[in-house]
Amino acid sequence: MAMEVGLRRRLGSGLLVGGIALLPWLTAVDSGSTPPDESDMAPIRQSAASLEDYELRAESATHWKLPRRLREISGLATTRDHPLLAHNDEVGIVFEIDYRDGSIVKEFQLTDGRDPVADDFEGIAVADGRVYLVTSAGRLYEFQEGADGESVPCRVYATGVGRVCEIEGLAYDPDGRELLLMCKEARGEVLRGRLAMYRWSIDEMRLSADSPTVVSVGDFARRIGSNRYRPSGIERHPVSGNYFVVAAGQGAIAEVTPAGEVLAAKRFTAGWHRQIEGIAFAADGALIVADEGGSGRAILTVYPKRARGS
């Protein structure tokens, strides 16, 4: 049966993966299908800021090479007071970066009580004064922000989504008090050709009832003249409430509503963008992205928000 745009439907008692009822609800969004009645559609927020407000031109950006210990930078997030936090790929160390000059303000280490924590970390988010890291397997690490040089304990939650897809980004949506886990690529046939955005309730510490929202890869890819779109980071815009999703392999960024409608996508053109892994927004609305360094140094780039009408 063809999936209808914006409709939510029950898949029996849940989405079965290897005989395990994993996800109770599926929000399906697929291009080329018949639009539903308005009564079936989730309300779409009118955007007060959009992807078109960022020119993404080299001449309008500022960028810095980061210290070598951040060569494998893999995620960005801003706190309530707007300091910028970042992390590397395989070690549980969180850094605060001054995005005005690329310097490191502080760093602190996650610990399991005795030893430093190591894992395949792919995204970071801040919610209600707590910091979260997510791994490619969908494990969530929860902890308090630490002082410079401090070791902080953490809790670990198994979301289960790693059985279905590889996770490659994390963000916080305060409207639903949910963490957004962005799928990079499906692990099986259930989500083949689609990208899933899972929601994790920070109040109940479990997947939300309407998780995930699923979007056709083609809805992203065709807007940049490609047949692929593999997300590497996600962030909620603080003004519009829409989600901005970067894709390292395609050197691109897309804007998508919480309901799963892809509004726009375009490529980064600056030559220093090797592998965009992290995305965040500054207090003034500027777009901040981070590129892994590969064999060189990682780079932090700030794109200012263009004034409306300019």
Q: What is the pTM of this model?
A: 0.84
Secondary structure tally for the chain: helices H, strands E: 1, 24
Which sequence spans correspond to the domains of the chain? Answer: 23-30+50-303
Question: Tokens at residue 207, please?
Answer: 């997947």
Question: Tokens at residue 138, please?
Answer: 């969908």
**Residue pLDDT tens, the chain, 310 long:** 333 333 233 233 333 333 333 443 343 444 443 333 433 333 334 345 899 999 999 999 999 999 999 999 999 999 989 999 999 999 999 999 999 999 999 999 999 888 899 999 999 999 999 999 999 999 999 999 999 999 999 999 999 999 999 999 999 999 999 999 999 988 878 788 999 999 999 999 999 988 899 999 999 999 999 999 999 999 999 999 999 999 999 999 999 999 999 999 999 999 999 999 999 999 999 999 999 999 899 999 999 998 765 5
Instruction: With beta carbons less than 8 A apart as the criterion, state whether 134 and 181 touch.
Output: yes
Distance between CA atoms of residues 294 and 297, nearest Å: 7
Q: Which residues 6+ apart lie within 8 Å of 161 measured at CB?
A: 22, 23, 138, 167, 181, 183, 196, 198, 207, 212
Does the domain at residues 23-30+50-303 carry the CATH identifier 2.40.128.630? Answer: yes
